[in-house]
């Protein structure tokens, strides 16, 4: 059991390291890693392969749909609202087998178990998780899930596997739209270099194109890029310099790009396809009963908000208002507060489809607000499909954190611990937790390399990295 003074010192050391690494965004600091039950940590450690198999099966489903071996509406939904040129690019034969190398689910801890509310294959938070892992492990002597240096090592191993070479030159290209994450990706590049790799964080305009491939200048030296890590969203391609040249070079095999330019693999409506009754046989066949059962347990039931008219005898499969099946989305507009425990959010390919942007919790708004949200989701279908998802409430957890009010700290000097009253600086907060495990597809298999935890107070319906949230990593010893 750490003394109050030691807890304060730990928090100050963590914050100092995060600031030095350039990844601190003013959230609350915990003196220790987050503790999970032993069986929960074991489950998360084992989840990477099932999630990778899901991406692999979803990829196959899409291509079978465009070749009429699966229902055509599958690819129709996944291509909805995308530029035709990008759709055609993703359909090229040389792109067919490419899959994301990083997988990050957002997992809620609920009273009934874990729920993966969504998947992200272009995730932020890698630098934050890596920096936190190193400071808790290397400086404070705590064991952390994935290992203290797990994030940069996993990232490097993944890119080596993608490039099919042990020493690739890696360009982490961060767009202006993703500028909030630039500092942590710069940290990741530095950490990869310290781990023995050759990684550089670049702006798109720093990439140089020739017919031989892509290059960039480092002082007086020019490097040929072997693998380009795409840290920008596909909906923003038209605003990103040199993307046409990057696409061309990847098509001509002048560079390897990951995650691949496959917008259909970045759609949240993949969950709806997973739960669709007509596709159940496909998923079981491709995943196997065991993996299908695992994913069925953690993927919340999801529906695509398609405004198409239903026949008089039709219902939306599995969707109920109270005990009554729902036959149209307009009918759902009359749901009472207790009947609308759902989340509505854009599926993908939109500036509203990442972070917590565009997410609406049904029972947290007025009846009029609920109707307006439904109307917007249905009217936007042809440019940005929306999904409806069951809402799951997180279980209560408790975390400790440093109250970093300057009046309590007695100044702004990070290394100075007040001579008295240290115990009053460590607060406890009851809240709900979101876990973000990072899995990397490496040569040896899919490996967990770190788990970022965000805890928000109980009154918050959505959990994200706000200033009054506590952010830490999961400990390895429970």
Mean pLDDT of 44-56: 98
Residue 413 scores a pLDDT above 60: no
How confident is the model over 373-377, as a mean pLDDT? 96
352 vs 276: which has the higher pLDDT: 276
Residue 277, pLDDT > 90, answer yes
Cβ atoms 438, 123 nearer than 8 A: yes
- pLDDT of 169 reads 98
**C-beta of residue 271 within 8 angstroms of C-beta of residue 305:** no
In a domain, 343, yes or no: yes
Residue 412's pLDDT is 41
pLDDT at site 422: 53
- At how many degrees (to 10) do helices 126-134 and 150-163 cross? 130
- Asked, for residue 366, whether it belongs to a domain, the answer is yes
Distances (CA, A) of 164 to 172, 209, 227, 441: 17, 22, 10, 13
Q: Residue 415 — pLDDT band, cuts 50, 70, 90?
A: very low
Which residue stretches of 32-166 are H helix?
Answer: 38-46, 48-66, 72-79, 84-90, 126-134, 150-163
pLDDT for 355 equals: 65
Task: Give the pLDDT confidence score for residue 350 in this predicted structure.
Answer: 85
- pLDDT reading at 188 higher than 70: yes
Q: CA nearest 155: which of 104, 217, 224, 221?
A: 104
User: Residue 377: inside a domain, yes or no?
Assistant: yes
Residue 360 within a domain = yes
* CB 436, CB 464: distance < 8 Å: no
Query: Tell me, what's the pLDDT at 411?
Result: 44
**How many distinct structural domains can be found in the chain?**
1
Cβ neighbours of residue 82 closer than 8 Å, sequence gap 6 or more: 263, 349
pLDDT digits (tens, 9 = 90+) for 215-227: 999 989 999 999 9
The model's confidence at residue 406, banded by pLDDT at 50, 70 and 90, is: low
Look at residues 14, 9, 8 and name the one whose alpha carbon lies nearest to residue 27.
14
Mean predicted confidence (pLDDT) in 106-114: 96
**Residue 189: phi, psi to the nearest 5?**
-60, -45
For residue 192, being part of any structural domain is answered with no
pTM of the predicted protein model = 0.95
Distances, alpha carbon 363 to alpha carbons 336, 373, 392, in Å: 8, 12, 12
Q: What percent of the chain has pLDDT over 70?
A: 95
**pLDDT of res. 461:** 79
Residues 10-38, mean pLDDT to the nearest whole number: 95
Beta bridge partners of 379: none
Flag whether 25 is in a domain: no
Average pLDDT of the residues in 257-278 = 97
Read off the pLDDT of residues 123-148 as tens digits, 9 standing for 90 and up: 999 999 999 999 999 999 999 999 99
Mean pLDDT confidence for 58-72: 97
For 87-96, b/e burial (b = at least 16 CB within 10 A) is bebbbeeebe
Q: What is the pLDDT of residue 478?
A: 58
**Percentage of the residues of the chain whose pLDDT score is greater than 90:** 87
d(CA 95, CA 245): 17
The pLDDT of residue 116: 98
Q: Could you report the per-residue pLDDT of 304-352, keeping only the tens digit for each? A: 999 998 898 899 999 999 889 999 998 999 999 999 999 999 999 888 7
pLDDT in tens, 37-48: 999 999 999 999
Q: Flag whether pLDDT at 420 surpasses 90.
A: no
pLDDT band at 2 (very low <50, low <70, confident <90, very high): confident
Q: Is residue 336 one of the residues assigned to a domain?
A: yes
Q: What is the pLDDT of residue 312?
A: 87
Task: Look at residue 25 and tell me whether its pLDDT is greater than 90.
Answer: no
What are the pLDDT digits (tens) for 76-85? 999 999 999 9
Instruction: Take residue 63 and report the two structure tokens written for it.
Output: 């291509």
Q: Does an H or E element contain 78, and which?
A: helix 72-79
Confidence of residue 423 (pLDDT cuts 50, 70, 90): low
| 227-231/169-174 β-pairing | parallel
pLDDT of residue 371: 96
Average pLDDT score over the chain: 93
Taking CA atoms, 320 is separated from 34, 236, 342, in Å, by 37, 36, 11
Residue 160 has pLDDT above 50, yes or no: yes
**Does the pLDDT of residue 357 top 90, yes or no?**
no
What average pLDDT does this structure show over 270-299? 98
135 in any annotated domain: no
Enter the DSSP assignment of 356.
T
Domain span at residue 363? 301-390
Q: What H or E segment, with its residue span, contains residue 320?
A: strand 320-321
Does the pLDDT of residue 1 top 90, yes or no?
Answer: no
**Are β-strands 426-442 and 445-457 bridged in parallel, bridged antiparallel, or unpaired?**
antiparallel
Compute and round to an integer the Cα radius of gyration of the chain.
Answer: 23
């Amino acid at each position: 059991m750490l003394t109050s003074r030691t807890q304060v010192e730990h928090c100050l050391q963590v914050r100092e390291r995060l600031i030095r690494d350039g990844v601190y965004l003013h959230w609350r600091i915990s003196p220790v890693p987050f503790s999970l039950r032993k069986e929960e940590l074991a489950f998360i450690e084992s989840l990477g392969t099932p999630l990778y198999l899901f991406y692999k099966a979803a990829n196959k489903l899409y291509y079978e749909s465009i070749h009429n071996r699966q229902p055509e509406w599958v690819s129709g939904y996944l291509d909805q609202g995308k530029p035709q040129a990008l759709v055609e690019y993703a359909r090229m034969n040389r792109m067919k087998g490419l899959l994301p190398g990083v997988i990050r689910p957002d997992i809620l801890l609920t009273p009934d178990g874990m729920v993966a509310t969504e998947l992200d294959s272009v995730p932020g938070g890698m630098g934050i998780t890596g920096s936190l892992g190193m400071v808790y492990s290397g400086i404070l002597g705590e064991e952390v899930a994935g290992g203290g240096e797990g994030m940069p090592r996993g990232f490097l191993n993944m890119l080596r596997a993608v490039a099919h070479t042990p020493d690739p030159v890696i360009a982490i290209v961060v767009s202006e739209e993703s500028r909030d994450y630039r500092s942590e990706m710069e940290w990741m590049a530095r950490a990869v270099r310290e781990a023995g790799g050759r990684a550089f964080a670049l702006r798109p305009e720093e990439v140089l194109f020739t017919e031989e491939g892509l290059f960039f200048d480092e002082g007086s030296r020019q490097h040929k890029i072997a693998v380009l890590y795409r840290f920008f969203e596909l909906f923003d391609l038209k605003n990103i310099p040199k993307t046409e040249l990057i696409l061309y070079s990847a098509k001509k095999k002048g560079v390897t790009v990951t995650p691949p330019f496959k917008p259909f693999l970045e759609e949240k409506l993949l969950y709806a396809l997973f739960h669709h009754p007509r596709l159940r046989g496909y998923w079981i066949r491709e995943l196997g009963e065991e993996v299908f059962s695992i994913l069925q347990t953690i993927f919340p039931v999801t529906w695509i908000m398609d405004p198409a008219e239903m026949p008089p005898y039709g219902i939306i499969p599995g969707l109920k208002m109270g005990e009554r099946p729902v036959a149209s989305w307009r009918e759902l507009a009359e749901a009472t507060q207790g009947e609308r425990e759902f989340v509505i959010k854009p599926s993908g390919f939109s500036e509203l489809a990442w972070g917590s942007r565009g997410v609406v919790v049904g029972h947290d708004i007025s009846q009029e607000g609920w109707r307006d949200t439904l109307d917007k989701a249905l009217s936007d279908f042809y440019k940005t499909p929306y999904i409806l998802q069951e809402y799951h409430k997180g279980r209560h957890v408790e975390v400790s954190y440093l109250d970093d009010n300057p009046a309590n700290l007695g100044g702004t000097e990070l290394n100075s611990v007040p001579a008295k009253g240290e115990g009053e600086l460590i607060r406890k907060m009851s809240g709900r937790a979101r876990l973000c495990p990072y899995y990397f597809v490496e040569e040896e298999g899919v490996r967990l390399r770190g788990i970022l935890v965000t805890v928000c107070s109980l009154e918050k319906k959505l959990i994200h990295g706000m200033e009054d949230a506590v952010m830490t990593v999961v400990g390895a010893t429970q």
